[in-house]
Every structure is written in structure tokens, then in C-alpha cells.
A and B are shown apart, each in its own frame.
Chain A
Amino acid sequence: GAVVSQHPSWVICKSGTSVKIECRSLDFQATTMFWYRQFPKQSLMLMATSNEGSKATYEQGVEKDKFLINHASLTLSTLTVTSAHPEDSSFYICSAAPGGYEQYFGPGTRLTVT
């Protein structure tokens, strides 16, 4: 089946620094990838839609200058959390669709900002 990977699986960074999270589709190409965020005991919230070769589309309330998304190829999208603060600590999950109806999710990246 379609496999999506994320790297790193967990990261700890200091407040004010930036951290990059990679999302790769391993055995299919994805024109569109999605980024979600999940706080403890809450459901997933869509942050942005990442389109290969064009600017990402952000959901209302998500700061595009803080969460930089780059979709440089059909198999890679990156999310960079800039000037991270403790309130950005969360579980970040990406997904991709190989052109069908279902989306395949990565295993997630747990970010802790100290």
C-alpha cells in the first residue's frame, strides 16, 4: 500500500529556534499533501494544503509566516516552524493522496519546544 514517512519522529528544540519536518511519499507521487496538528487529547486540525510547485493554502488562524511549507517535488513536502515557542509543542502529521479517494498519513512528528 501507499506509504508516507516523516522525519524526524520527534524533536526537542529551544524557544526561538526553527525546526524543519519532512514528509515523503515513498511509493507514489503526490501533487497535494496536507499538514495537520494535534494537541493532547484533541482531534487533528488541518493546518494547510501543500501543492507541488505552488504556494501552500493555509487554514484560517494558521500563521503562514510562522509555519513555512515547501513542496518542491512530487514526493516531498516540508514544514518549518519558525521562531518556535512552547505553545507550538504538538504532534504534527502529514498526509498525501496518490490520486484516489483515500489519504495516507505519515506516522507524525512530536515537537517539544522548551
Chain B
Amino acid sequence: DAKTTQPPSMDCAEGRAANLPCNHSTISGNEYVYWYRQIHSQGPQYIIHGLKNNETNEMASLIITEDRKSSTLILPHATLRDTAVYYCIVRASGGGADGLTFGKGTHLIIQP
């Protein structure tokens, strides 16, 4: 799986959009970008994934650059409950059969 780089921490004001970047310059053609988050002392939670098109669901939007070397997870209206560590993971398609490799992630702190 390709390596990812994320900033270690970010702050965002409550109610504003939180934009979390991820670099994955060595991503290959069949690899997807996944985002998970982990709230303190809980199991990780799946957020969203994409291949090359932008994706949106009830939780977030995922913007992938045209060259696929980076992506941004957008939480449109951050709340205090969005404070968590966010992990960007790149993995091959059909990845349900493979364990995940977690990096250090980004600790997002939502400020009131």
C-alpha cells in the first residue's frame, strides 16, 4: 500500500468547515483513498473512500486531485464531537480482505 503523509494536528472553529489534507504521491492506479477517524478510547469509524472522483456522503466530502497524489477530507460544519484523530489510508481495491495500515493521522481539535 502507498504511504501517506498527514499533518500531525489541526485546529478548527466549531461551525466552520474542517479541511484535512493527505499526501499520497506514490499511489498506484488501483489504489483507493480511505478515511477513518478515531475518537478517544473508541474503535475507528469509517468515513468515506474514493478512487478518483470526488465523493460525498452524510459525514463528509472527499476531494481527490486530478493526479491523485493528494486528497482533502472536508467536514462541512465541524462540531465538538468531530474532535478525533483522522487517518488517511491508501489501499488496493477489494480491500475488505486486507488489514489496514494506520499511520499517525491528524489530530483534529474543534474549538468552541
Checking A34, A100, A102, A110 against B99 with a beta-carbon cut-off of 8 angstroms, the contacting residue is A34
Of the listed stretches A12-20, A43-51, A70-78, A81-89, name the one at the interface; the rest are far from the partner chain: A43-51
Select A49's contact among B38, B45, B99, beta carbons within 8 Å: B99
**A102 with B42: CB separation less than 8 A:** no
Are B41 and A103 within 8 A (Cβ)? no
Interface string of B74-105 (1 = CB under 8 A from A): 00000000000001000001111111111111
What is the bound-complex CA distance between A7 and B94, given in angstroms?
A: 29
Counting residue pairs across A and B whose Cβ atoms lie within 8 Å, the total is: 64
| Contact across chains for B93 and A46 when beta carbons are under 8 A apart | no
Q: Which of B37-68 contact A (CB under 8 A)?
A: 38, 41-46, 49
Given A43-B102, A43-B103, A43-B104: A99 and B96 interface contact (C-beta under 8 Å): yes
Could you say which of A44, A103, A107, A108 contacts B96, with CB atoms under 8 Å apart? A103
- Which residue of B34, B95, B101 contacts A46 across the interface (Cβ within 8 Å)? B101
Chain A residues within an 8 Å CB radius of B41:
91, 108, 110
Size category of the B interface is 20 to 34
A60 CB to closest chain B CB (Å) equals 12
Residues on B with C-beta less than 8 A from A32 are 96-97
Is there contact, CB below 8 Å, between B43 and A105? yes
Nearest to B95 among chain A residues (CB) is: A101
Q: Is the CB of A102 within 8 A of B44?
A: no
Alpha-carbon distance between A44 and B96 when the two chains are bound, in angstroms: 17
**Distance (whole angstroms) from the CB of B78 to the closest CB of chain A:** 22
Q: Does A111 sit within 8 A of B, measured CB to CB?
A: no
Q: List 14 A-B contacts (CB under 8 A).
A: A44-B100, A59-B99, A91-B41, A95-B44, A97-B95, A101-B34, A101-B95, A101-B96, A102-B34, A103-B46, A105-B43, A105-B45, A107-B43, A110-B41
